Amino acid sequence: MSFMYYEKDGRGISDSELREKLISSLPDTHLQKVLILPPDFTRVHSNAGRITNIYYHYLTEKGCRVDIMPAVGTHERVTREEAEIMFGDIPYEKLLVHNWRTDVVKLGEVPGSYLKEISEGMWTEGVSVEVNSLVMDSGYDLILSVGQVVPHVVVGMANHAKNLFVGVGGRDMISKSHMLGAVYGMDRILGRDHTPVRKLFDYAYEHFLYDRPIQFVLTVCTAEKEKIHQHGLFIGHGRDILDSAVVLAQKHNVTYMQKRIRKCVAYLDPMEFKSTWVGDKALYRTCMAMEKGGELVILAPGVRTFGEDPGVDRMLRMYGYRGHDEIMRHYYDPEDPTLRENQAVAAHLLQGSAHYGKFTVTYAVSKSFMQDVEQIGYQAADYAEISKRYDPEKLTYGWHTMPDGEEIFYIPAPALGLWIAEDSASS
């Protein structure tokens, strides 16, 4: 059974409405053991934290054991401070940790012949289907996969089966799905459904997880400052809820620009964005709206590293965001198999180089981190200085003319949207 609920008045779904719909959608049976898979803190504006909190308290009060494992993928573990902000009064000790390198079981493989077909011949390797072993634990009566449908650089529109195969998935699926998306082309994927990567996830879910007691809980949200507006709630087992959520997300999270942006300023919340691995969402979501020769300024006071773990960070520092040709030269270097063995890193470098030769990217970071940023291939600015001109406390979303006549387009939460120039299809 599928359940879909939309806002009625443009103000978003209220907390009381949310609670009522979540509880009424639970199976009409006595649940003894439930696993909840919410996103990590990089999706703090998904409202998944509040949803998880509602489920946790309702189920535990009924005597049900509830386990919670944030779907971190390759990201950093949720910290105690982040957990308190996102999940409220759920005890931190209740949050299980997923390790994408060691905690998975292999369920099977998506054949290379199928991947060749869906990628127009651009990818021919088979992909192992791996998930955290808890997903296959027969002791769970119900698995709640919670998350936001929003534009995504790898899959097109995030969530549904992606939350399983990447969020609590394993190395082979994470690496190869990212590389599949990169070789197929970011501009052919962002903001769209039924992309090659989505078809990969759909195939894996239908063949290997469809019989598991998984219930997807999908949101469509926007945010203004710290206030989350939830526009839709989609709950169910199958693909139909994703179809409907995608349509609503494309309405709320994709903006078509009548003119291209010469100077874009995007702000990354320091609590949410600590690395370029995640912070590059500001680049992905704006690149199709930028004017050739323009500049994207990313206000990133919390960015202090490149990768989300030390190994990935070392590789990003080694190769840098230096354009498609340079990255692929390293990828095919017979003397250096590093990128071929770490395809998610190679894919990220390709996507993080989307601006190369088109427009410049300036990361505004702490003064002590500026040299590192410049060495990796981006321009750098001192956040303390540049934020005096582009003050995130004063700027509001949209076009602004600065005192000296400079025109900018300001985006306070780039990870929640996608900006596309109306002339992109012909350019």
Q: How far apart are CA 206 and CA 204, in angstroms?
A: 6
Residue 2's nearest CA partner among 218, 146, 253, 307 is: 218
What integer pLDDT is reported at residue 7 of this predicted model? 75
Beta strand 407-411 with 65-68 is unpaired
Q: Is residue 426 predicted with pLDDT exceeding 60? A: no
**What is the per-residue pLDDT across 226-251, written as a single tens digit (0 to 9) for each?**
788 999 999 999 999 999 999 999 99
Q: pTM value? A: 0.90
Q: Determine contact, residues 216/234, Cβ cutoff 8 Å.
A: yes
Q: Determine contact, residues 151/43, Cβ cutoff 8 Å.
A: no
**What is the per-residue pLDDT across 296-347, written as a single tens digit (0 to 9) for each?**
999 999 999 999 889 999 999 999 999 999 999 999 999 999 999 999 999 9
Helix axes 343-351, 324-331, angle to 10 degrees: 170
Q: What domains can you pick out in the chain, each with its CATH number?
A: 3-254 (3.40.50.11440), 258-426 (3.90.226.30)
Averaged pLDDT, 109-127: 96
Averaged pLDDT, 273-277: 96
Residue 162's nearest CA partner among 147, 172, 180 is: 147
Q: Is residue 423 predicted with pLDDT exceeding 90? A: no
Averaged pLDDT, 404-425: 92
Averaged pLDDT, 250-264: 96
Residue 421's nearest CA partner among 291, 266, 311 is: 291
Residue 30 DSSP SS3:
coil
Q: Is residue 266 predicted with pLDDT exceeding 70? A: yes
Q: How far apart are CA 75 and CA 167, in angstroms?
A: 9
Q: What are phi and psi of 314, to 5 degrees?
A: -60, -40
User: From residue 268, how far is each of 95, 265, 273, 316 by CA, in Å?
Assistant: 25, 10, 6, 20
What integer pLDDT is reported at residue 225 of this predicted model? 66
**What is the per-residue pLDDT across 168-206, written as a single tens digit (0 to 9) for each?**
999 999 999 999 999 999 999 999 999 999 999 999 999
